[in-house]
Amino acid sequence: MVHGNKNRTFGRPRNQRTALMRGLAVSLIRDGKIKTTEAKAKELRSFIERLVTHGKKNTVAARRIVASRLGEPSAAVIKKVFDEIAPKFAERAGGYTRVIKVGRTQAGRDEAVIEFVE
């Protein structure tokens, strides 16, 4: 039995889930707002908020942690986390993103928009 494991699996093995979260996180950082399924948006929320919290520290160690969590994408993405996104939330203690439910598509999936709070 697996007790206390509340993460969504999305019907994928762990390496594919990790790649999915990394890709969604990079897209959200780059674009500021993305449209995805409701379950993916809710799971991405905790992933991205940890990255922003690390970004608020602005140390070399924090930069390395963020780079490793994002799978070391382009330096521009990491720079944006530390230079643009994290300073916006310096006074805020969490809750950096919002998930807005869009509705059900014809294919039957619940869609949502996840964006950074202004």
Average pLDDT over residues 71-91: 94
**pLDDT of amino acid 36:** 98
* Six token digits for residue 45: 């929320």
**pLDDT of amino acid 7:** 87
**pLDDT of amino acid 16:** 98
Pairing label, strands 97-104, 110-116: antiparallel
Structural contact between residues 99 and 113, judged by C-beta atoms closer than 8 angstroms = yes
**pLDDT of amino acid 80:** 97
Average pLDDT over residues 92-104: 97
Task: Read off the pLDDT band of 5 (50, 70, 90).
Answer: confident
Task: Read off the pLDDT band of 72 (50, 70, 90).
Answer: confident
